[in-house]
Amino acid sequence: MIKIYLDNCCYNRPFDDLSQEKIKNEAAAKIFIQSLVKYGSLSLIFSYMSLTEINDSPFENSKMQIMDFINNYSDFYVSENKRAEIEKIALDIMSMGVKHKDAIHVACAIVSLCDYFITTDKRLLKYKTDKLKIVNPIDFIELRGKIT
């Protein structure tokens, strides 16, 4: 089964201002990805960094909806027990210009052997690795059509 990791900006995309076409399309793609997770077509991985960022959100409604989804449908949790390994990988990622929290997210996805890291962060989408594919939700949906 294909393993995916969504970062916080991806989880929050449906709660953004949907008046822009690109944001609206990314939100729709993210919701479609959620349905694939919900019905068992994809395996969702999340981490301690996901929880930290979600808990830091001041928006209670979105925080509750995101946590409900994660609690009900995630298959694996990357805990802080792996922090030393994750920080080491994150340092290498940060050397390529990726911010610390983003590097932790990517490192968690790598440690959990995810196939895809899904984000709407333009800067993070520029980071390339041979460990997993980093894509936005729209590109993931297009790629998925080619791999199934």
60-107 pLDDT, tens digit per residue, is 999 999 999 999 999 999 999 999 999 999 999 999 999 999 999 999
Q: How confident is the model at residue 22 (pLDDT cuts 50, 70, 90)?
A: very high
Q: Is 6 helix (H, G, I), strand (E, B) or coil?
A: strand
- Record the tokens describing residue 59, joined without a space: 């928006």
Residue type, 105: H
> Tokens 């890291």 sit at which residue?
117
Which residues have CB under 8 Å from 91's CB, separation 6+?
103
- The domain spans of the chain are 2-147
Q: What average pLDDT score do residues 21-40 get?
A: 97
- Above 90 in pLDDT, residue 146? no
> Tokens 């960094």 sit at which residue?
49
CATH 2.60.40.420 for domain 2-147, yes or no, is no
